[in-house]
Amino acid sequence: AFSSAPITATLFPGDGIGPEIAESVKQIFREAEVPIEWEEHYVGTEIDPRTQSFLTWESLESVRRNRVGLKGPMATPIGKGHRSLNLTLRKELNLYANVRPCYSLPGYKTRYDDVNLVTIRENTEGEYSGLEHQVVRGVVESLKIITRQASLRVAEYAFHYAKAHGRERVSAIHKANIMQKTDGLFLKCCREVAEKYPEITYEEVVIDNCCMMLVKNPALFDVLVMPNLYGDIISDLCAGLIGGLGLTPSCNIGEGGIALAEAVHGSAPDIAGKNLANPTALLLSGVSMLRHLELHDKADRIQKAVLETIAEGKYRTADLGGSSTTSDFTRAICDHL
Amino acid sequence: AFSSAPITATLFPGDGIGPEIAESVKQIFREAEVPIEWEEHYVGTEIDPRTQSFLTWESLESVRRNRVGLKGPMATPIGKGHRSLNLTLRKELNLYANVRPCYSLPGYKTRYDDVNLVTIRENTEGEYSGLEHQVVRGVVESLKIITRQASLRVAEYAFHYAKAHGRERVSAIHKANIMQKTDGLFLKCCREVAEKYPEITYEEVVIDNCCMMLVKNPALFDVLVMPNLYGDIISDLCAGLIGGLGLTPSCNIGEGGIALAEAVHGSAPDIAGKNLANPTALLLSGVSMLRHLELHDKADRIQKAVLETIAEGKYRTADLGGSSTTSDFTRAICDHL
Ligand SMILES: CC(C)[C@H](C(=O)O)[C@@H](O)C(=O)O
Ligand SMILES: CC(C)[C@H](C(=O)O)[C@@H](O)C(=O)O
CA of B208 to nearest chain A CA: how many angstroms apart?
Answer: 4
pLDDT for residue A169: 98
> pTM value?
0.95
- From the alpha carbon of A209, which atom of ligand 2 is closest? 9
CA of A168 to nearest chain B CA: how many angstroms apart?
Answer: 25
What DSSP string describes B271-317? Answer: GTTTT----HHHHHHHHHHHHHTT-HHHHHHHHHHHHHHHHH-SS--
- Give Cβ neighbours of residue B174 (< 8 Å, ≥ 6 apart): B183, B186, B187, B204, B205, B206, B207, B226, B227, B230
A131 DSSP β-pair partners: none
CB atoms within 10 A of CB B312: 12
Share of chain A above pLDDT 90, in %: 88
Handedness of CA A80, A81, A84, A85 (dihedral sign): negative
CA of B306 to nearest chain A CA: how many angstroms apart?
Answer: 22
Q: Find the mean pLDDT for residues A4-27.
A: 94
Share of chain A above pLDDT 70, in %: 95
pLDDT for residue A77: 66
Which of A144, A146, A233 shows the shortest C-beta gap to B211?
A233
3-state secondary structure of B261: strand
B30 DSSP β-pair partners: none
Chain A residues close to B149, C-beta within 8 Å: 138
The verdict on the CB of residue A145 being under 6 Å from ligand 1 is no
**What digits encode the pLDDT tens for the residues A138-162?**
999 999 999 999 999 999 999 999 9
3-state secondary structure of B205: strand
Number of H helices, E strands in chain A: 10, 12
Parallel/antiparallel/unpaired status of strands B68-71 and B169-174: unpaired
A120 DSSP β-pair partners: A99, A225
Residue B18 has pLDDT above 80, yes or no: yes
Interchain pair A240, B181: CB under 8 A: no
Which of B134, B177, B215 shows the shortest C-beta gap to A240?
B215
**What digits encode the pLDDT tens for the residues B75-105?**
876 655 567 888 889 989 999 999 999 999 9
Cα–Cα distance measured from residue A135 to residue B122, given in angstroms and rounded to the nearest whole number: 20
Provide the pLDDT confidence category of residue A1 given band limits of 50, 70 and 90: very low
Interchain pair B145, A141: CB under 8 A: yes
3-state secondary structure of B132: strand
Range list of H helices, chain A: 18-31, 57-66, 85-92, 148-164, 182-195, 207-216, 228-242, 280-292, 296-312, 326-336
**What digits encode the pLDDT tens for the residues B158-210?**
999 999 999 999 999 999 999 999 999 999 999 999 999 999 999 999 999 99
Provide the pLDDT confidence category of residue A50 given band limits of 50, 70 and 90: low
**Closest alpha carbon within chain B to A235:** B208
Interchain pair A144, B142: CB under 8 A: yes
- What is chain B's mean pLDDT, rounded? 94
- What is chain A's mean pLDDT, rounded? 94
The verdict on the CB of residue B84 being under 6 Å from ligand 2 is yes
Which of A142, A212, A237 shows the shortest C-beta gap to B181?
A142
- From the alpha carbon of A175, which atom of ligand 2 is closest? 6
3-state secondary structure of A312: helix
Residue B31 has pLDDT above 80, yes or no: yes
**What digits encode the pLDDT tens for the residues B113-139?**
999 999 999 999 999 999 999 999 999
Cα–Cα distance measured from residue B19 to residue B273, given in angstroms and rounded to the nearest whole number: 8
Interchain pair B110, A145: CB under 8 A: no
pLDDT for residue A4: 65
pLDDT for residue B1: 47
The verdict on the CB of residue A119 being under 6 Å from ligand 1 is no
A82 alpha carbon, closest ligand = 1
Residue A288 has pLDDT above 50, yes or no: yes
Cα–Cα distance measured from residue B19 to residue A149, given in angstroms and rounded to the nearest whole number: 47
User: CA of A123: how far to CAs of A93, A151, B187, B255, in Å?
Assistant: 11, 10, 25, 39
pLDDT for residue A84: 81
Chain A residues close to B145, C-beta within 8 Å: 135, 139-141
Q: For B194, how many CA atoms within 13 A lie in the half-sphere containing its CB?
A: 19
